[in-house]
């Protein structure tokens, strides 16, 4: 399947100021496949070392002289390492963390040789080692799960993919295409974005077979827990791991996640799972200005799972024997859809940036309010609401927009896209005047492009604009 990150990798490979690159991401999201595909598309021979399978290969990097390292690699693998035609790939580098600090050798002494490393547990492993980080001498690329757009391509829906990629807010989507795109999105909520599950679904179309892949992947993550046993008890890791899907869409409560443990112990486990990219924090922010991370509430957070398909499997979602996705696709609809949209927002960030998500919540008794996400689009804050059906109350959104005086908000639901001018009063009598960009779920990966279009008054003046 095509992965959009290949474009970033090809740009890195062709850059004149190229530095060694480290790809970061959870297990099984396609890091190794991506580098192999890069070598194939660029016509380079791939020299691949995997330090989990062959930890002894770390001894090839014993000194600071890249020329000597290359000579050892040529002796070890029996071939010429030509900087113009070779790509060196250091896979599972977390198994040899001392090499991570030495990547700058190649940046300084052999920049012409492209070197890329990948690892699933880098943040966790590096925390246990003391060495100088090669700041400014290496580049990073954060790889996430397969997006909905990539899912369309992988399942042979290139026509739909091209259609939504070119869709303007001024255009309309025929009912037949709208229904088909919603059906494909429901499939995506079930299948998720783990490459093995997407490939299985594309080849078999079998819910049972896809569910088997999901459960194998969940078991793989559980099997990884032994790597953390020196830090925390495995049983505690499993409790928190299992609790994350159950609390999707809700404030993450340490007491619910692991009732028998102290909050500090559970927080440590959650930190560990987030470092391993098994989970992603959605941090509460006051939303008073940019950057959103400057005004967070440290102890208030929601947590996303690595993938919506794995979250559904962990919650027991099964489509065995079901003929129509419409009948079951939105089991636990609000939580799973919030997870799926969160994955899209996470993936919409530039891949050189550490993924960070935010939301807004007010917990005043009798005046509670919450918005699913806060998105930073250039200099603006854009709140995002996720509604499982075609309609839904927007009281929290009206309140936030009245308090902050922002010009634009986004709602995801099952209805056709529209741009609406909202003029309402909140329950406390505050006036709220803003533009509401309502998008169907299947435009999740287009949100930043369409937000830019909606901010242009000329682009937003066409189809779907109405007063509310």
**pLDDT exceeds 80 at position 243:** yes
CA 86 to chain centre: 30
Residue 93: Cβ within 10 Å count: 27
The percentage of residues in the chain with a pLDDT greater than 90, rounded to a whole number, is 72
Q: What are the φ and ψ backbone dihedral angles of 466, each rounded to 5 degrees?
A: -150, 165
**Assigned token pair, 432:** 């709220």
Distances (CA, A) of 305 to 126, 272, 317: 23, 13, 15
Sequence-distant (≥ 6) Cβ neighbours of residue 115 within 8 angstroms: 20, 21, 88, 90, 103, 106
- The count of C-alpha atoms lying within 13 angstroms of the C-alpha of 308, restricted to the half-sphere facing its C-beta, is 31
pLDDT tens digits, one per residue of 428-458: 888 999 999 999 999 999 999 999 999 875 5
Q: Does residue 291 have a cis bond before it (omega within 30 degrees)?
A: yes
Residues 42 and 159 sit within 8 Å (Cβ to Cβ): no
DSSP state letter for 167: -
**Assigned token pair, 135:** 């700041």
Q: Where are the beta strands (DSSP E) in 307-417?
A: 357-362, 369-377, 380-386, 408-413
- Residue 316 — pLDDT band, cuts 50, 70, 90? confident
- pTM (2 decimals)? 0.92
Mean pLDDT of 279-287: 96
- Quote the mean pLDDT of the chain: 89
Interhelix angle for 263-275 vs 234-246, to 10°?
80
Longest Cα separation, the chain: 77
Dihedral angle of Cα 69, 71, 75, 79, to the nearest 10 degrees: 110
Residues 279 and 273 sit within 8 Å (Cβ to Cβ): yes
pLDDT tens digits, one per residue of 458-467: 544 443 333 3
pLDDT tens digits, one per residue of 175-222: 999 999 999 999 999 999 999 999 999 999 999 999 999 999 999 999
The Cα 312–Cα 195 span in angstroms is: 16
- The count of C-alpha atoms lying within 13 angstroms of the C-alpha of 190, restricted to the half-sphere facing its C-beta, is 28
pLDDT given for residue 321 in this prediction? 41
**CATH superfamily ID and name for 5-142:** P-loop containing nucleotide triphosphate hydrolases (3.40.50.300)
pLDDT tens digits, one per residue of 106-131: 888 899 999 999 987 776 666 666 65
Continuous H helices in 23-157 = 31-42, 66-77, 104-109, 122-126, 148-154
The Cα 443–Cα 71 span in angstroms is: 50
Burial class (CB in 10 A: 0-12, 13-18, 19+), 136: exposed
- 204-210 contacts: CB < 8 A, separation 24 or more? 207/318, 207/319, 207/320, 207/322, 208/320, 210/309
List every span in the chain annotated with CATH 3.40.50.300.
Answer: 5-142
Least confident window among 107-111, 141-145, 151-155, 355-359: 107-111
Residues 136 and 39 sit within 8 Å (Cβ to Cβ): no
Residues 114 and 140 sit within 8 Å (Cβ to Cβ): no
Interhelix angle for 175-191 vs 333-347, to 10°?
90
Residues 287 and 370 sit within 8 Å (Cβ to Cβ): no
From 159, 165, 214, select the one nearest 444 (Cα to Cα): 165
pLDDT given for residue 463 in this prediction? 38
Burial class (CB in 10 A: 0-12, 13-18, 19+), 9: buried
């Amino acid at each position: 399947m095509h992965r959009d990150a290949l474009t970033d990798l090809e740009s890195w490979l062709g850059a004149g100021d190229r530095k060694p690159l480290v790809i970061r991401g959870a297990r099984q999201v396609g890091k190794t496949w991506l580098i192999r595909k890069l070598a194939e598309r660029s016509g380079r021979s791939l020299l691949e070392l995997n330090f989990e399978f062959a930890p002894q290969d770390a001894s090839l990097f014993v000194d600071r002289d890249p020329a000597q390292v290359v000579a050892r690699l040529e002796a070890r693998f029996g071939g010429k390492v030509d900087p113009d035609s070779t790509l060196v790939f250091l896979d599972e580098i977390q198994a040899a963390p001392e090499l991570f600090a030495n990547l700058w050798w190649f940046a300084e002494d052999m920049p012409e040789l492209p070197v890329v490393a990948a690892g699933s547990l880098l943040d966790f492993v590096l925390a246990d080692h003391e060495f100088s980080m090669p700041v400014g001498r290496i580049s990073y690329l954060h790889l996430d799960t397969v997006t909905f757009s990539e899912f369309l391509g992988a399942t042979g829906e290139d026509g739909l993919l091209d259609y939504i990629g070119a869709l303007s807010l001024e255009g309309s989507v025929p009912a037949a295409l709208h229904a088909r795109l919603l059906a494909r999105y429901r499939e995506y909520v079930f299948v998720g974005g783990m490459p093995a599950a997407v490939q299985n679904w594309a080849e078999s179309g079998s819910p049972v077979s896809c569910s088997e892949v999901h459960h194998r992947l969940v078991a793989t993550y559980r099997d990884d827990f032994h790597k953390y046993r020196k830090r925390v008890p495995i049983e505690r890791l499993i409790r928190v791991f299992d609790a994350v899907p159950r609390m999707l869409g809700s404030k993450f409560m340490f007491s619910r996640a692991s009732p028998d443990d102290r909050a500090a112990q559970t927080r440590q486990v959650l930190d560990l799972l987030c470092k391993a990219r098994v989970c992603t924090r959605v941090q509460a922010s006051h939303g008073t200005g940019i950057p959103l991370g400057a005004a967070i509430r440290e102890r208030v957070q929601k947590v996303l799972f690595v993938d919506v398909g794995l979250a559904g499997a962990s919650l027991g979602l099964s489509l065995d024997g079901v003929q129509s996705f419409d009948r079951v696709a939105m089991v636990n609809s609000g939580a799973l859809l919030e997870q799926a949209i969160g994955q899209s927002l996470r993936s919409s960030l530039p891949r050189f940036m550490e993924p960070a998500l935010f939301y807004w919540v007010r917990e005043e008794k009798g005046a509670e309010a919450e918005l699913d996400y806060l998105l930073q689009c250039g200099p603006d804050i854009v709140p995002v609401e996720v509604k499982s059906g075609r309609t839904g109350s927007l009281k929290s959104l009206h309140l936030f927009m009245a308090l902050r005086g922002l010009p634009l908000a986004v709602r995801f639901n099952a209805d056709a896209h529209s741009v609406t001018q909202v003029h309402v009063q909140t329950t406390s009598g505050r006036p709220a005047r803003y533009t509401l960009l309502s998008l169907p779920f299947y435009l999740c990966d287009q949100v930043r492009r369409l937000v830019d279009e909606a901010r242009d008054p000329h682009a937003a003046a066409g189809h779907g604009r109405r007063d509310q």
